[in-house]
Structure 1
Amino acid sequence: MTFFKSIGVIAATVMLLGSAASAETRVTYKSAKAGSSYFQMAVQFAEAMKAGTGGDVSVTVEESQGSVQNVMEVRARGGDYVFTTPPALIGLAQGGKAMFEGKSDPSFEGIRALFPIPSLTMHFVMSEASGVTSFAQMEGKTVLLGSGSFGAREGAKYIELFGLEGKVTVADSELSNAVNALKNGQIDGFVTAGSYPAPNVIEAAASTGVTVLSLDPDQIAQTKRTELIIPAGTYTGQDGDITTTSLPVVAYTTEKMDEDTAYLLTKTYWETKADMAGDAAWWAGVSLDMLSNITTQIHPGAIRYYKEIGAALNDAHM
């Protein structure tokens, strides 16, 4: 082989390697605090994208301080940014309302949904020893709400809405102590919000025996939250479905993301969801029906996939 032919072979090899490298799609996924269930979901999502695309998609998971921060960062991010937040926050950001008052930005109008992820699900967990099977029977009981979390705020709201304020003793302790306190009889129940099946509810049901309370239609209407059914058999001793409320959570990007990338992320997500559910049961609770929880536009790349599989979309999604 001559010198010039060798140079030609080397150049062709470099071009091929460069082409292969450029084929990799890099995405940043920002979700929640490290150690939380939603951060764990982000890690699972990253692994699923790598496996499902044969390494063509590389996802970097970033820790977040919360959903509001995730939305605010849209202002400085590019087309590789994916983040999670409840759908209601997108509407507030685009309208410059509530926590976004005075912080409006044109980039918020470009936020586009990709797919739903497990919802924050309310659990009112009462020990079998308490005998409580309905909210009315909580009167005179001691319940742990924790502090500072969505579940704690929502639990306090429901106690007030259902006429139990001043009739229930709220334990002064952190939610991390709930299962031990329930076992020891220090509390009659606790309130937690997380994607189901919730680890602390699994532990309490298996070790102590619990009843997770259902809400009736009137109670659900009072909360102004989304109804969610926890199927029978999710927790030890749970013979029937549990009707409760949830705060939907969705993965978003912006219109800066190209259509092919949004299509690939969405397609791979749904096609690997069953595998993810084999590792973590909370993914099994996600279905295409939850697209109805998305109240703003879906990315055109994701819409392409949903149309291919015949998923139901509405006018707000277009």
Structure 2
Amino acid sequence: MKSGLLKLAIGLSLSLGAVHAQAETRITYKSAKSTSSYYQMGVQIAEAVKEGSNGDIIVTVEESQGSVQNVMEARARGGDYVFTTPPVLVRLAQGGKAMFEGKGDPKFDEIRALFPIPSLTMHFVMSEKSGVTDFAGMEGKTILLGKGSFGAREGEKYLKLFGLEGKVDLAEVELSNAVAALKNGQIDGFVTAGSWPAPNVIEAAASTGVNVISLSDDQIAQSKRAKLVIPAGTYAGQSEDITTTSLPVVAFTTTAMDDDTAYALTKTFWEQKAKMGEGAAWWNGVDQGLMENITGKIHPGAVRYYQEAGIDLTDAQK
């Protein structure tokens, strides 16, 4: 009899385990290099989704070499694939343009947005000692742009746009050494792009004192980037809002993901966002206002959540 009861107990245990395994949804979240802030955001999302769904959704964060790779992999991945990229790259992929020329695929048309994440935000950081408070004042100063990054490319573009090409000295220093170089007077300022508040700008503002330059509406229009306002008080000594530009970044999936999973993932993200902001301030910059940066279609499951939450969507997003 004991043997029979034992077999029954084992059988029930295995059955319950099988039911749980079937109920558990697994997601792969492809983000960025493991050393980047965006990879760290992925880890935070994974933890928040697990907690918010009571373990029903398990997110595994996968390292990536960049946004283009993330989009390219949408061709072959299944319904469990979530990835981050600027919406502009999805548009280029769907049109077979730029880096996607000759690499078009019908699968790109199946890409759908879920929710926005912190934008890549431009920071033009000048030491207080330099006295520079606008772009014109950067003439004759030593500026660190870095190499190969979005921030470096964008910074170089802005110098050309605003008449500073050849009029500033570009420092041959790695961006990782920007704060130290600013402290010792090796440079007058540096350009960096990332989520805000940016750790290197926090450090520079607290240790050296900096002016983060604002862009005028005309300069923002010339840049053809999205306008973003960093609230006063974000950085030490910052008494006014900083008006700058950003490259929106969004979490995407494809139509291969079922509606219920897309709904649950989106709902859990927004419900956990405030708690994530307690541990990492960059989440506090994500709000409903960033929804307008989603220029393509949103997954039907996510649309259901936004409609329930009373968040307005454009006809192009539905």
- TM-score band w.r.t. shorter chain: over 0.9
SS for the counterpart of 1:61 is strand
Q: Deviations over 1:207-237 (max 9, x none)?
A: 0000000000000000000000000000000
Instruction: Give the aligned partner of residue 71 of structure 2.
Output: 71
What is the Cα deviation at residue 183 of structure 1?
0.3
Instruction: Give the aligned partner of residue 19 of structure 1.
Output: 19
Change (3 A) 1:4 1:228: same
Distance in 2 (alpha carbons) for counterparts of 1:13 and 1:190: 60
What is the Cα deviation at residue 316 of structure 1?
1.1
Distance in 2 (alpha carbons) for counterparts of 1:186 and 1:139: 16
Percent identity, aligned pairs only, is 71
**Structure 2 gaps, min length 5:** none
Answering whether residue 313 of structure 2 is matched by residue 317 of structure 1, we say no
What is the Cα deviation at residue 20 of structure 1?
1.2
Instruction: Give the aligned partner of residue 240 of structure 2.
Output: 240
**Structure 1 gaps, min length 5:** none
SS for the counterpart of 2:40 is helix
Instruction: Give the aligned partner of residue 148 of structure 1.
Output: 148
Paired residue type of 1:57:
I
Q: Deviations over 1:132-174 (max 9, x none)?
A: 0011111111100000000000000000100011111111111
Instruction: Give the aligned partner of residue 36 of structure 1.
Output: 36
Instruction: Give the aligned partner of residue 302 of structure 2.
Output: 302
Distance in 2 (alpha carbons) for counterparts of 1:170 and 1:123: 16
SS for the counterpart of 1:156 is helix
Q: Which moves more between the two structures, 108-117 or 166-175?
A: 166-175
Instruction: Write the mapping of 1:270-285 to structure 2, written as runs, cut at 5 A.
Output: 270-285=270-285
What is the Cα deviation at residue 11 of structure 1?
3.8
Instruction: Give the aligned partner of residue 175 of structure 1.
Output: 175
Compute the RMSD of aligned alpha carbons: 1.3
How many residue pairs match? The answer is 318
What is the Cα deviation at residue 14 of structure 1?
2.6
Instruction: Write the mapping of 1:200-279 to structure 2, written as runs, cut at 5 A.
Output: 200-279=200-279
Instruction: Give the aligned partner of residue 80 of structure 1.
Output: 80
SS for the counterpart of 2:316 is helix
Instruction: Give the aligned partner of residue 289 of structure 1.
Output: 289
SS for the counterpart of 2:270 is helix
Distance in 1 (alpha carbons) for counterparts of 2:18 and 2:233: 52
Instruction: Give the aligned partner of residue 192 of structure 2.
Output: 192
What is the Cα deviation at residue 17 of structure 1?
1.9
SS for the counterpart of 1:78 is coil
Change (3 A) 1:9 1:176: closer
Change (3 A) 1:2 1:206: closer
Q: Deviations over 1:85-116 (max 9, x none)?
A: 00000111111111001001111111010000
Change (3 A) 1:3 1:206: closer
Paired residue type of 1:173:
V
Instruction: Give the aligned partner of residue 94 of structure 2.
Output: 94
Q: Deviations over 1:174-216 (max 9, x none)?
A: 1011101100011110000000000000000000000000000
Instruction: Give the aligned partner of residue 114 of structure 1.
Output: 114
Could you list the structure 1 runs, at least 4 aligned residues long, displaced by more than 3 angstroms after superposition. Answer: 1-13
Paired residue type of 1:237:
G
What is the Cα deviation at residue 4 of structure 1?
6.9
Distance in 2 (alpha carbons) for counterparts of 1:76 and 1:108: 10
Paired residue type of 1:239:
S
